[in-house]
A and B are shown apart, each in its own frame.
Chain A
Amino acid sequence: MNLTVLLYFGGFSLILTGFYGVLTGKNLIRVILALGIMEAGVNLLLVTTGFKPKAIPPIIVKSFKTLSLPNFADPLPQALVLTSIVIGFGITALSLALIVKYNEENGTIKMDEVENSEEVVE
């Protein structure tokens, strides 16, 4: 099988696996882990869009004599993935902090066990 096809396949299956986890998970930590799997899948997908067989790093060094471009790897998807990884990290950290608060307020980290409470102040 072609490597690119394999990578695309891997990316989409990770996304779908994570999506299944988010949809069926009751435990909040598990849901966040499933989100992490989805993000990993989409990062793989993004990197794959810039993938070329036998490419070289996109850095111009003095040894290039001609203006014709050699077989550079596309650097943009990698920059996108870097941003996306950082955002994913931030979201995971924030959601874990929120889960701590959720646990303090409700005494559980399971979703759906907490009915929408009726009393609201402020």
Chain B
Amino acid sequence: MNQVILLIAIPLLVAFSMPLTGKLFPRVSKVIALLTLLFEAIWAGFILFNTKGAVSVVIGGWLPPFGINLVVDHLSGVVAFVVSIVVLFSIFFQLSSGLSKKPNFYMLSLLLVASLMGIIFTGDLFNLFVFFEIAGISAYSLIASGKNSNSSNGALGYLIPASVASVFYLVGIALIYSTLGTLNIAQIASSFSSVKPILATFIAFSLLTLVLLEFEIVPFNSWVPRAYQGAPSSISAIFSSGLALASGYVMLRLGVIVFNGGQGGFIRTGSFELGHALFGIGVITVIAGEIAALAQKDVKKMLAFSSVGQMGMVLVAFSIGTHSSIYGGIFALISHSFAKLLLFLTAGLIIMKTGKSKYTQWTGIARCSPLFGVLMLIGSLGVIGIPLFSGFWGKFAIIGSTVVLGKIGFIATTLILAASVVEGFYFFRLVHTMFETGEEKVPKVKANFAFWLISSLLVAVIVALGLRPGIIDGRLKKIPGELIGNAESGYVQAVNKQLKGSKK
């Protein structure tokens, strides 16, 4: 439990040794990178299974608020475990497909995973900013490492808005520090309700801009399609399933713990209810994302816009702020991570082997190699939320909590369901095209053992979560109770115990 720092420290250490080991022993360095990622997954799982409640871990013997603390609870444990698995699978895919031979690629991926773990566990706002920047820098470089003509365009298209948003985040930090005199998340949470409402709204807005940008929410998502298309497929998968998951987690964490208006709820800041605005923005994001996806011919762009739509739905769920909606949002995030990972890796493999990136060129691929069609179908069903597949339970809980909200909830429910139909349409269009008989002969797509191992594991997870959500429910159902309904969540209490200790 106390060794949660290893999740951040070990990949950082290995990452910076990568250039050297890569020069000396190019083959060994890949194995080392992979073993590090495997360690991440195992260790995150170990931490998750030993979590009993919120625990604050002191780093370097400096008690908070003077030092930086890491906080482990059910939410951060679950998210870290899923993120580590996503990164492990994506990089294993990349390594086994022989695409990137350079050790720098693995260095950047390890930096990305270290920063994602930092984003998830840190208990300090400025530290969160630093980890977001590390994630950003490695992400820009990874996008630019793509081989296609859109790579540097995508990287710059991501860098510029993200840097602007991080300036706004720093403005928020300056305002919080000058009003409350601390940057520890738990300490801010205990005294945030004393901030003047108008200032509180401004602070919340400037802090959340960066998070909303990484969370791919309209109007901050202009970077998404270009970056996803420019990046290598495994990196697009990490963005969609890892980075978006981690930023959704930060959204929930800050929204519920800090900006809860002193009574537990999602983003209640007093004067202007940012939380209500986010509900509307979420609904707009769902519709905009799904319609934009419908218009795309490029498969990776289509998947990117589908992620945007899904994240909008999760934001809607979070902004309602009831037990069942938060449970639904987290379930939807996790199931989306697994399903989108499967879709991106399969699509990436097909694009790599055939050199065709538009779905209209994919006619007949599944005729020659039907298993790929089946994989795309299962991934699609998982994302759309058909019963028996994992996406269903998340969407079911979200719809169940929007529909009880009265008139606005009814409109939102209708729009989300309509967007789901659009989603279903373009995914089935994709799979249908793959199974059509094409006029020209398509080459048979072959995959290696690693790909089959990864994809069968993912299919197993998607189907298992769909058939028996109970296997993770036990932990997920505890999360909303830890977060909402009381002014001081378990997270804040755990840190405050240490704060009192440090004052003695």
Residues of A within 8 A of B (CB): 15, 18-19, 22, 28, 31, 35, 38-39, 41-42, 45-46, 48-49, 76-77, 80, 83-84, 87, 90-91, 94-95, 98-99, 101-102, 105-106, 111, 114, 116-122
Contacts and interface: CB of A to CB of B under 8 A. Distances in A.
Tell me what chain A mostly uses at the interface: helix, strand, loop, or mixed.
helix
Given A101-B152, A120-B298, A122-B99, A94 B171 contact: no
Contacts of A41: 167
Contact of B173 (A80, A95, A111): A80
B177 A121 contact: no
Contacts of B232: 122
Contacts of B148: 117, 119-122
A83 B134 CA distance: 12
B153 A42 contact: no
B126 interface: yes
B137 interface: yes
Interface of B: 99, 126, 130, 133, 136-137, 140-141, 144, 146-153, 155-156, 159-160, 163-164, 167, 170-171, 173-174, 177-178, 183, 225-226, 229, 232-233, 298, 300, 351-352, 355, 357-358
Given A19-B164, A77-B177, A80-B173, A28 B226 contact: no
Given A45-B171, A49-B174, A49-B178, A94 B126 contact: no
A119 B149 contact: yes
Nearest to A43: B170
Contacts of A111: 156
Contact of B229 (A35, A38, A105, A120): A120
B156 A28 contact: yes
B126 A42 contact: no
B359 to A, nearest CB: 13
Nearest to B232: A122
A87 B173 CA distance: 15
A37 B150 CA distance: 28
Q: Give the top 6 A-B pairs by smallest Cβ distance, nearest first.
A: A49-B178, A101-B152, A120-B357, A102-B152, A42-B170, A120-B148
7 contacts: A35-B160, A35-B167, A38-B167, A83-B126, A94-B141, A116-B150, A122-B99
A94 B152 CA distance: 11
B221 to A, nearest CB: 15
Given A42-B171, A90-B137, A91-B159, A98 B357 contact: no
Contact of A91 (B130, B137, B183): B137
Given A42-B167, A94-B141, A105-B152, A87 B174 contact: no
A41 B177 CA distance: 17
B152 A121 contact: no
Given A101-B144, A116-B153, A122-B146, 9 more contacts: A42-B171, A45-B171, A46-B174, A46-B177, A48-B174, A94-B140, A99-B152, A102-B156, A122-B232
Contacts of B156: 28, 95, 98-99, 102, 111
